[in-house]
Amino acid sequence: MPVFHICGGCHLDRHLYLQGEAVPGRTNPASQRIGIGGVAANIARHLAARGGQAHFTGVQPADEISALGTRLRAAGVDPNLIPLEGEVPGYTAIVAADGELVVGAASMALYDEVTPDMVLEGIIGDGPLVIDANFPESVLQAICQAQPQTRPVFAAATSVAKVGRLAGCLARLDALVLNRSEAAVLAGEAPVAGMACALAARLRPGGAVLVSDGGNQAALARGDDCVTASPPPLDLVRANGAGDAMAAALFWGLAATPDAGLAAHLEAALEAGADFAAGRQAEQN
């Protein structure tokens, strides 16, 4: 089975699920779920659930490391959490009764204090390396530059605000997963197939780019080839986090079954995202 090293955001997510229609300016009844969060940590959990070895490197205030490490190990992830003084990172999402995100609030200032020397030692290895865009641009570029040419490097965009941090890393990436809005930051607004092709041309030779668009058509491009498909129909339970499940499925496929065609890789990624969005995959604990 593939051995992955994953580096990036890891914190606790709080999801508040509204029990009725959202009423602004009023207290709204909701249920709550708290679990592992951060794009990189979510991807690590999904890779571990598929049977891979997932070694995770991230940062956390010293007094939070034990509890978060316990959660990661329970999810099958091997944690390497480096102590860093600062505000505890976290994310709170308010989710409507139909599963759509109403608003998300991210407190991620700790990640801006990360330096290359903090994380480089923890990601040494031969297996694929997965990064997200939570750490500063200089750190992401240092990570990519430090990897041997024989090592695959995969990346997942974190948000529209942070995806630009990956621009200087594209020429070293073997795969990139992002949504339509994030892709537009790097490639300009276009149909998903056009953005996927434009970005694939900026990756290493043979690099693959997946651009998703919620329930609409997605595209996966590699070299001069591009395929498109629509996600399976579903009854939405939670939209937030589906992209991480989709990214993990693509990275798994590229590592475990590299000779599979683009259509098969795209189908597997969209199916994983749909399974999570429909509640058929367990949320992070």
Q: What is the pLDDT of residues 69-81, one digit of tens each?
A: 999 999 999 999 9
Q: How far apart are CA 136 and CA 129, in angstroms?
A: 17
Looking at residue 285, its pLDDT comes to: 53
Buried b (16+ CB within 10 A) or exposed e, 192-226: bbbbbbbbbeebeeebbbbbbbbeebbbbbbeeeb
Residue 102 belongs to some domain of the structure: no
Cα distances from 206 to residues 175, 182, 200, 258, in angstroms, run 9, 21, 8, 11
Residue 28 belongs to some domain of the structure: no
Residue 43 belongs to some domain of the structure: yes
Judge whether 8 and 134 are in contact, CB under 8 Å. yes
Which CATH number is 223's domain given?
3.40.1190.20
Domain count, the chain: 1
Residue 250 belongs to some domain of the structure: yes
Residue with the two structure tokens 């641009």: 137
Tokens of 242: 């589906």
Encode pLDDT of 124-144 as tens digits.
998 999 999 999 999 999 999
Residue 270 belongs to some domain of the structure: yes
Encode pLDDT of 79-129 as tens digits.
999 999 999 999 898 988 888 888 888 899 999 999 999 999 999 998 999
Lowest mean pLDDT segment, chosen from 57-71, 195-209, 231-245: 231-245
Judge whether 272 and 264 are in contact, CB under 8 Å. no
Residue with the two structure tokens 């990139």: 176
Which whole number is the average pLDDT over 30-34? 90
The partner residues of 237 in beta bridges, in order of sequence, read none
Tokens of 131: 């990064």
Q: How far apart are CA 54 and CA 68, in angstroms?
A: 15
Residue 96 belongs to some domain of the structure: no
* Beta-strand runs (E) in 157-282: 175-179, 208-212, 218-222, 225-229
Looking at residue 137, its pLDDT comes to: 98
pLDDT exceeds 80 at position 237: no
* Beta-strand runs (E) in 140-245: 153-156, 175-179, 208-212, 218-222, 225-229
**Predicted model pTM:** 0.92
Q: In what order do the strands lie in the sheet with 90-95?
A: 30-37, 11-18, 90-95, 101-107
Which whole number is the average pLDDT over 37-55? 96
pLDDT exceeds 80 at position 280: no
Helical (H) or strand (E) element with 79: strand 77-83
Residue 100 belongs to some domain of the structure: no
pLDDT exceeds 70 at position 239: no
Judge whether 200 and 222 are in contact, CB under 8 Å. yes
What secondary structure, in 3-state letters, does 2-62 show?
Answer: CEEEEECCCEEEEEEEECCCCCCCCCCCEEEEEEEECHHHHHHHHHHHCCCEEEEEEEECH
Alpha helix (H) residue ranges in 88-131: 116-119
Judge whether 269 and 250 are in contact, CB under 8 Å. yes
Domain with 140 in it: 3-10+38-88+111-277
Average pLDDT, the chain: 94
pLDDT exceeds 80 at position 37: yes
Q: How far apart are CA 184 and CA 150, in angstroms?
A: 30
Residue 47's pLDDT band (cuts 50, 70, 90): very high
Cα distances from 165 to residues 53, 137, 150, 156, 189, in angstroms, run 27, 5, 23, 11, 18
Which whole number is the average pLDDT over 13-17? 89
Residue 263 belongs to some domain of the structure: yes
Encode pLDDT of 174-233 as tens digits.
999 999 999 999 999 999 999 999 999 999 999 999 999 998 999 999 999 999 999 998
